[in-house]
């Protein structure tokens, strides 16, 4: 069986070392040939960095790495200067330190090409680097996790605003460099409004909810069954289930992400790779980054958790994110804790409404665990014992005993967590019943 590229985001390494690579280059071919300046938002651990690495090798002209892939014989292979910035790799604790880190990163790229870069401010060093490289050919600009400084500063909204203003100034020079640029691609988790960061970059095309690129990241059902057929067979044999039964359970646990009007759902790639390695149904993706801030925010705003069963949002709402006015629904959607369930067209208002839900069992189960901890102060071990008791009472039809047990749980909640709101108790009952 071919190796599983768990945590590997370097395209050359995957190709040279014989790891599985799910071919997404047909999408990249369209991006390269049909436009120039793009933005893509997807949840963490969804393959954004690998996509950026793949684009980097295309613009470096490394055709040999693409042998057997869609794009191999579709484009004219020509080397271009590449500026690749990974905002997760910057070392800083304050906005001023980020400015220094950006300048040093740009200077390092300049040294790779044998050019000296001047400029004390990031935007000046940025502009100087692009113009210095452009005589060698138009520059490909790739920025991965553009919003990491802002997301990393949450819940400190003052720091978030400072990073936002810095990045707006930095990214704002891109449009003025258009004549020197071959291709521009930015990725991130959050999708800030154009007025907050990208107001100067009005030629930016947002791929986030484009129906034709809904599967540019993540694995479709067809891709999963094609590229991972041997792994599916191996796991089904070990678990002593049929491949059909295994695929049904994998779909329930890890599929379900939908990013557009197009009814196309994808699997979380990190969870699937981890599942094929461990061969156990676990909460792999959720465990790599828990939404503590989001759940605390939901509680502070007295959000009724039962509303998660029937949320409806406009497209403008899902793409709306402001540091000073953080809205829960777009945050939960953009970070991958909610996804599109169904689409409804409001003909009278001439707009599209999106019905939202948990993507899959992994996310739902993990979120409920954290709801219990945050709303009830119950640790995971005690929680499972209590919930097992409640489930047994419900199955046996012991309603009176069930209600008595629920009252016992409510009475045991620390007074520091109790809120004098109906939504608080509604949320607790919802969580108990959903578990």
19 phi/psi in degrees, rounded to 5: -80, 160
φ/ψ of 91, rounded to 5, equals: -100, 115
DSSP-derived letter for residue 45 is: T
Q: How many residues does the chain have?
A: 435
What single-letter DSSP state applies at residue 71? G
What is the domain partition of the chain in residue ranges? 11-213, 221-287, 292-434
For 26, 299, 314, 379, the CA distances from 302, given in Å and listed in that order, are 45, 5, 22, 22
Residues with Cβ within 8 Å of 43's Cβ and at least 6 positions away in sequence, in order, are: 189, 257, 268, 334, 335, 336
Give pLDDT tens digits along the chain (435 positions): 999 999 999 999 999 999 999 999 999 999 999 999 999 999 999 999 999 999 999 999 999 999 999 999 999 999 999 999 999 999 999 999 999 999 999 999 999 999 999 889 999 999 999 999 999 999 999 999 999 999 899 888 899 999 999 999 999 999 999 999 999 999 999 886 655 777 777 788 999 999 999 999 999 999 999 999 999 999 999 999 999 999 999 999 999 999 999 999 999 999 999 999 999 999 999 888 877 788 888 878 888 888 888 899 988 888 777 777 778 899 899 999 999 999 998 777 678 999 999 999 999 988 888 887 777 666 655 656 677 787 788 788 888 888 887 777 766 666 666 565 666 667 777 777 776
Nearest to 349 by CA among 383, 391, 312: 312
Class of domain 11-213: alpha beta
């Amino acid at each position: 069986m071919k190796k599983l590229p768990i945590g590997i985001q370097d395209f050359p390494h995957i190709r040279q070392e014989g790891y599985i690579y799910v071919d997404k280059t047909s999408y990249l071919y369209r991006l390269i040939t049909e436009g120039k300046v793009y933005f893509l938002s997807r949840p963490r651990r969804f393959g954004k960095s690998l996509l950026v690495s793949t684009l980097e090798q295309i613009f470096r002209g490394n055709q040999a790495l693409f042998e057997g892939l869609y794009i191999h014989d579709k484009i004219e292979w020509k080397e271009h200067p590449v500026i690749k910035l990974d905002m997760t790799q910057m070392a800083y604790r304050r906005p001023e330190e980020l400015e220094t880190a950006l300048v040093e990163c740009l200077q390092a790229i300049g040294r790779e090409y044998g050019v000296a870069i001047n400029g004390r401010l990031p935007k000046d060093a940025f502009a100087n680097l692009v113009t210095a490289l452009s005589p060698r050919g138009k520059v490909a600009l790739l920025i991965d996790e553009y919003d990491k400084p802002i997301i990393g500063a949450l819940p400190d909204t003052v720091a978030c605003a400072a990073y936002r203003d810095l990045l707006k100034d930095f990214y704002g020079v891109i449009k003025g460099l258009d004549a020197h640029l071959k291709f521009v691609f930015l990725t991130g988790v959050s999708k800030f409004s154009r007025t907050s960061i990208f107001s100067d970059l009005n030629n930016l095309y947002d791929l986030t909810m484009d129906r034709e690129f809904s599967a540019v990241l993540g694995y479709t059902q067809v891709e999963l069954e094609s590229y991972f057929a041997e792994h599916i067979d191996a796991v089904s044999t070990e678990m002593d289930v049929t491949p059909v039964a295994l695929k049904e359970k994998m779909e329930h646990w890890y599929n379900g992400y939908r990013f557009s009007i197009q009814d196309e759902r994808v699997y979380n790639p990190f969870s699937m790779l981890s599942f094929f390695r461990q061969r156990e149904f676990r909460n792999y993706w959720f465990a790599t980054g828990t939404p503590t801030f989001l759940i605390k925010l939901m509680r502070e705003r007295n959000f009724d958790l039962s509303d998660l069963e029937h949320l409806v949002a406009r497209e403008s709402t899902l793409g709306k994110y402001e540091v000073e006015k953080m809205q829960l629904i777009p945050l939960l959607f953009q970070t991958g804790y909610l996804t599109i369930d169904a689409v409804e067209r409001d003909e009278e208002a001439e707009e599209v409404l999106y019905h939202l839900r948990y993507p899959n069992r992994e996310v739902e189960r993990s979120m409920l665990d954290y709801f219990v901890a945050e709303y009830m102060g119950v640790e995971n071990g005690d929680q499972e014992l209590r919930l097992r008791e409640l489930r047994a009472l419900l199955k046996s039809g012991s309603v009176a005993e069930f209600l008595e047990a629920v009252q016992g749980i409510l009475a045991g909640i620390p007074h520091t967590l109790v809120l004098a709101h109906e939504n608080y108790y509604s949320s607790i009952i919802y969580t108990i019943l959903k578990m």
